[in-house]
Structure 1
C-alpha cells in the first residue's frame, strides 16, 4: 500500500540556472536518472515550481509505501542540498537551498495525488 505525501522547498537560484534543474536532481535521486523508464522504483512523484525573482518555490508530490517515506524525503533533501545539477545539455545549474521539508497536501493537490497513487506505470514493482 502506498500513500501520498507533499514536500516543499525554497531555493535561491544563480542567475543562469535552469528552473527545471532541481526537479531533475530530485528525479535522479529518487529514480537513478532523470530520463528513466517507468515505473519510478521508489516513489511516483511530480515537482511543480514557481519562480519569484531569484527564488524558486518547489512542491513535490510523491506516493510511496509509508515505511519508505523518510527515505524519499531524505533523498529529496540531499538532492536539493547538493546545490547543483548538470542538465542533459551539459549546463550546470546551481542554487542554495533555503528551506526544505514536509508539508500537508492541499485540497487542490488531491486529484494529482490520487493519480500518483493509482497510476500502474508508477507503482513500485510494476512492469
Structure 2
C-alpha cells in the first residue's frame, strides 16, 4: 500500500533559467520522460518551486510503497545532481544542487498526498 512522503531540495539557479526544469528532470528519472501520460509507474509525485534570486527551493511530494521510499529519494537526488535539462523549446536550463533531504509533510499537504496515494 502506498504512503505519502515529502522531500526538499535547494538549488543554485540563474534567474533566466526555467525553475520548472528541475521538476521535469525528476519526472524524467521517475517516469522515463517528463511529458508522459498518467499514472506514474513508480511514484506519483508533484514538485513545487519557490525562487528567491538565484536560490530555488523545491518541495517534492510523492507516494510509493514504503520499501521503495529510499529508491525514490535516491532517484530524486540523481535527477537533481545532473544539473541540467533541455526543455521542449530546446533551451537548456542549468542548476547546482546545494542540498536535499527528507522532510515531514505539512498538514496542508495531506490532502494532496492522499490523492497521490490513490493515483
Normalization by structure 2: what TM-score?
A: 0.97
Q: CA deviation at 1:101?
A: 1.2
Give the distance between the partners of 2:101 and 2:18, measured in 1 at CA.
22
Tell me the SS of whatever aligns to 2:95. strand
Partner of 1:64: 64
Counterpart residue number, 2:24: 24
Structure 1 segments of 4 or more deviating over 3 A? Answer: none
SS in 2 for 1:34: coil
Separation of aligned partners in 2, 1:49 and 1:16: 15
Q: Which runs of 5+ in 1 are unaligned?
A: 120-127
Return 5+ residue gaps in structure 2 as ranges. none
Q: Is the 8 A contact 2:15 2:53 kept in 1?
A: no
| Corresponding residue for residue 80 of structure 2 | 80
Q: RMSD of aligned C-alpha atoms? A: 0.8
Give 1:53 deviation, angstroms: 1.0
Number of equivalences: 119
Q: Which residue of structure 2 lines up, in the alignment, with residue 117 of structure 1?
A: 117
